[in-house]
Every structure is written in structure tokens, then in C-alpha cells.
């Protein structure tokens, strides 16, 4: 019985993730100035939604993504640069909030692993072809 309750709680958890509060003021409303809205949109597509799987805050329907969109638009409307907003969000949430994390000791494996796997695959293929040619 306890196991069933646990399974149901895990399944129902996403339903409880969003609150019943109304969306943030500028979450779903564009700025009146088209140039500033373009700046906001350009920044929002480069920021990852922290609760979604691989969606930008521009594409996500999650409540947190709406809060982040509102924050970006509010700050751009106030005259803050997209670079400083991005820097503030990275300071607050870490490099995970961006789709292009900078090279560092923590992110080096993310940048090096695909190259290493490709090199290993080429080496393996070369060895296999040599073996077939000899045999």
C-alpha cells in the first residue's frame, strides 16, 4: 500500500509543480518598444528554462520560465543591457541557465567528450577495416 502511495505521489508531482498564482506581469506580454522587445527575445532564446528539459525560457510554459521572461523584459525596459542581465542570471543560477556554457574545469568534459568519442570511433573503425583487409 505504501509503495502504491509513493508511486502515485511521484506521478502526481508535476501537476503540483506550478502554483495557482497569475503569471508575472510581463511573462506573456511583449514590450511596447519593438527594438527592446527584440533585445529581450534574443536574450530569452539563449536562456534555458531551469525546470524544463531543454527548452528556452522563450518556448517554455513553466511558471518559472514566465517569471524569468518577465524579469528579462522588466530589466530591458528599465534600460539594462542584455549582457548584464545574462551575467546576473548566470551569477544567480549558474552556467546551466545558458545553452553555451563557458570553457572551465567543470565544463571541459562537456566540450572534450564528444571529440574524444569521435576519435575513439574513428580509431575503432580503422582497426576494424585493417582487420578485414588482412583476413
Return the pLDDT at 7: 73
Do 90 and 115 lie in one domain? The reply is no
Express each pLDDT in 7-17 by its tens digit: 766 665 555 55
Return the pLDDT at 135: 62
Domain limits at 130?
Answer: 103-135
Return the pLDDT at 13: 55
Return the pLDDT at 12: 59
Do 61 and 108 lie in one domain? The reply is no
The whole-angstrom separation of Cα 122 and Cα 33 is 52
Do 66 and 116 lie in one domain? The reply is no
The whole-angstrom separation of Cα 77 and Cα 27 is 13
Total domains in the fold of the chain? 2
Do 10 and 63 lie in one domain? The reply is yes
Do 118 and 60 lie in one domain? The reply is no
Can you give the CATH number for the domain in which 8 is found?
1.10.8.640
Beta carbons within 10 angstroms of residue 29's beta carbon: 13
For the chain, which residues score pLDDT lower than 70?
Answer: 5-6, 8-19, 21, 135
**pTM (whole model) above 0.85:** no
Amino acid at each position: 500500500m505504501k509503495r502504491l502511495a509513493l508511486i502515485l505521489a511521484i506521478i502526481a508531482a508535476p501537476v503540483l509543480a506550478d502554483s495557482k498564482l497569475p503569471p508575472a506581469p510581463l511573462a506573456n506580454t511583449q514590450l511596447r518598444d519593438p527594438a527592446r522587445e527584440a533585445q529581450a527575445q534574443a536574450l530569452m532564446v539563449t536562456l534555458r528554462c531551469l525546470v524544463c528539459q531543454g527548452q528556452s525560457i522563450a518556448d517554455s510554459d513553466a511558471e518559472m520560465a514566465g517569471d524569468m521572461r518577465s524579469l528579462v523584459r522588466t530589466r530591458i525596459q528599465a534600460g539594462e543591457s542584455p549582457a548584464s542581465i545574462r551575467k546576473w542570471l548566470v551569477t544567480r543560477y549558474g552556467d546551466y541557465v545558458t545553452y553555451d556554457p563557458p570553457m572551465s574545469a567543470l565544463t571541459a568534459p562537456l566540450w572534450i567528450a564528444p571529440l574524444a568519442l569521435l576519435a575513439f570511433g574513428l580509431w575503432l573503425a580503422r582497426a576494424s577495416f585493417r582487420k578485414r583487409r588482412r583476413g
